[in-house]
Amino acid sequence: MTQDILTRVEGHAGIISLNRPSALHALTLDMVHAMTDALVKWRSSRAVKCVIIEHAEGRGFCAGGDIAFLRNSALTDGGKSGRTFFHDEYQLNHLLFTYPKPVVAFMDGITMGGGVGISQPAKFRVATENTRFAMPETGIGLFPDVGGGWYLSRLEGRVGQFLALTGARIAGSGCLSLGLATHYVPSEALADAKARIGTEDVDRIDGILGTVSVTPPPSKIVETLFQINRHFASDRFEDILASLDADDGDWAMRESAALRSKSPQTCKVALRQLAESLKCGDFAENMAMEYRIASRVIVRPDFAEGVRAVIVDKDNAPQWNPAAPGDVTDEYLDAIFAPLPATEEWKPL
């Protein structure tokens, strides 16, 4: 069992601590398996009445998944081991979404990608002054997976589309305003909250968090909701770019420039993903769709190139292929979203 995940029981709380500080607790496949094993064990335990997900040390809650591993898979084994990673990570996401006991996720720090996938299913999602929430996948040729299609598509207005395309970072106050967090608690109060959750009646969790919550500072994202809803109203990427380009305000020009640095392929994938997610009957159907997308996108040129440019070489000059939004046709997207052979489709645990 990996030491990158620490599990223990304190009082009646099962506690999962992410313990990979050198990588901001980014999830490896071993970490995914360790978390899954603990949750399955505690699901039938009469002693464990709730679950806490936290990080052991460092400034990140969870910065995402093991991107280097996924890129290596794309380059060396045709994406086979990468598909295994996605498959098992998505099973963990679904397990958390359907978990029969209350889960409390303390998003005290960077919460991106895979960190969103293990925090958003929780009944209680605690943001702090340290929270920095984002789904930045379009910048590396990926898409907002781990349930991102489900969560982002169900946010008010078009803010989910904005977050999916731009990868914008939101502070804890913004998470609370948008409903991505249920409580805003100063980090200095977290230890007390966790101790009380493990000892007081499990039906008191909301009340416990409420007593240590404070009013957050004003949210910057809330101040831009009118512009977001106006410019990101369409599900056509070209329409969004055109709307931003027609506005000579500073905000619109910044967001236009940001979008043009992203992968046209995965921006269009993300827009279709969010639209399709709203049609999904349940979370499992959404995750099956995201697995189909992941299975295709991981072996397309943009993923390996995006990771090279942003994480490996850090030149921030990816050469996207296709290079322009117009080159990403509906037929191109249809192939990415098409069903997999029956034996390869994703299924929950």
Question: Is residue 114 annotated as part of the catalytic site, yes or no?
Answer: yes
Catalytic residue among 137, 255, 290, 302: 137
Among residues 27, 10, 15, which one has the least CA distance to residue 2?
A: 27
Q: How many CA atoms lie within 13 A of 34 on its CB side?
A: 19
Catalytic residue among 14, 64, 65, 174: 65
In the predicted model, what is the mean pLDDT of residues 246-270?
Answer: 98
Catalytic residue among 114, 167, 174, 198: 114
8 Å CB contact between 6 and 56: yes
Average pLDDT of the chain is 97
We find that the CATH architecture of domain 5-344 is Alpha-Beta Complex (3.90)
> What is the structure's pLDDT at 1?
64
8 Å CB contact between 204 and 11: no
Give the tokens for residue 18. 């992410």
DSSP letter at 309 equals I
Cβ partners under 8 Å of residue 121, min gap 6: 93, 96, 97, 99, 103, 147
Q: Strand order in 103-107's β-sheet?
A: 5-10, 13-18, 50-55, 103-107, 124-127, 183-184
Question: Is residue 137 annotated as part of the catalytic site, yes or no?
Answer: yes
Q: pTM of the entire structure?
A: 0.97
Residue 168: pLDDT band with limits 50, 70, 90: very high
319-345 tens-digit pLDDT: 999 999 999 999 999 999 999 999 999
Calpha distance 160→348 (Å, rounded): 25
Q: Give the CA dihedral 235, 304, 20, 92, nearest 10 degrees.
A: 50
DSSP letter at 311 equals I
In the predicted model, what is the mean pLDDT of residues 226-242?
Answer: 98
Question: Is residue 145 annotated as part of the catalytic site, yes or no?
Answer: yes
In the predicted model, what is the mean pLDDT of residues 117-137?
Answer: 98
In the predicted model, what is the mean pLDDT of residues 178-186?
Answer: 98
Catalytic residue among 66, 89, 145, 302: 145
> Is pLDDT of 147 > 90?
yes
Calpha distance 286→277 (Å, rounded): 6
In the chain, what percentage of residues exceed pLDDT 90? Answer: 98
Calpha distance 328→322 (Å, rounded): 6
47-100 tens-digit pLDDT: 999 999 999 988 889 999 999 999 999 999 999 999 999 999 999 999 999 999
Q: Tokens 């209680």 identify what position?
A: 124
**In the chain, domain spans:** 5-344
Q: Tokens 């598909």 identify what position?
A: 83
Calpha distance 335→268 (Å, rounded): 13
Among residues 62, 65, 81, 85, which one has the least CA distance to residue 73?
A: 81
